[in-house]
Chains A and B, each alone.
Chain A
Amino acid sequence: EDQVTQSPEALRLQEGESSSLNCSYTVSGLRGLFWYRQDPGKGPEFLFTLYSAGEEKEKERLKATLTKKESFLHITAPKPEDSATYLCAVQAMSGGGADGLTFGKGTHLIIQP
């Protein structure tokens, strides 16, 4: 069974204070690892897809990295508008190629001015 564990559950940072969110996963053949951002009352918003160990992707103040067992979402000099829940998800290889995503519980990030 595919599993995704995110830590910490919640994180409070001061504006400008950089940090990292962790996503540990077990999957029977990784097809892709996804990072989403979710604001209260809204659906998840796509951030990144990573496919293989060693891959990195960046977008503004966010950088995602991937190893064979975990992924990190690094947040550099965050601003209050970066406050949200960050979700990690994996998709397994399958013959049909139509498996759904397995999500973690998310990290609730608060950036204080």
Chain B
Amino acid sequence: DAGVTQSPTHLIKTRGQHVTLRCSPISGHKSVSWYQQVLGQGPQFIFQYYEKEERGRGNFPDRFSARQFPNYSSELNVNALLLGDSALYLCASSFGEKLFFGSGTQLSVL
């Protein structure tokens, strides 16, 4: 079975630009979560979606938004990029309380 897949794997943007990150969950998983991991830190919770509805939101500005599609895939959008948005963005799908993470998208903002 395929695990959680994320695209792209790497991305370089400049300040002020917009970015869209994509995630496909494990087949049968209806919940998707997004985390931001800055180098040297643990992942920080951004959003959780279940059955296409937002179920949880972390302490991130409104520049961050997400959505989940009928096939349970998800997008994370970040507007007006700042240098501090440079990080590894992780998507996780879950069945119950166990999270299965993808390998992430490494975003660099110059």
Q: Give me the interface of A with B, judged by CB distance under 8 Å.
A: 4, 31-32, 34, 36, 41-46, 49, 87, 89, 91, 96, 98-106
Q: Which of B33, B43, B97 contacts A103 (CB 8 A)?
A: B43
Q: For chain B, residues 34 to 93, give those with C-beta under 8 angstroms from any C-beta of chain A.
A: 35, 40-46, 48, 50, 55-56, 58, 90, 92
Least Cβ–Cβ distance between B25 and chain A, in angstroms: 13
CB atoms of A91 and B58 under 8 A apart: no
Q: Which residue of A lies closest to B44 (CB)?
A: A103
CB atoms of B55 and A96 under 8 A apart: yes
Residues on the B chain within 8 Å of A101, using CB: 43, 45, 99
> Number of B residues contacting the other chain (C-beta, 8 Å)?
25
CB atoms of A99 and B99 under 8 A apart: no
CB atoms of B42 and A106 under 8 A apart: yes
B26 within 8 A of A: no
CB atoms of B56 and A100 under 8 A apart: yes
In whole angstroms, how far apart are the Cα atoms of A42 and B90 in the complex?
Answer: 9
CB atoms of A96 and B56 under 8 A apart: yes
Least Cβ–Cβ distance between A59 and chain B, in angstroms: 14
In whole angstroms, how far apart are the Cα atoms of A50 and B45 in the complex?
Answer: 20
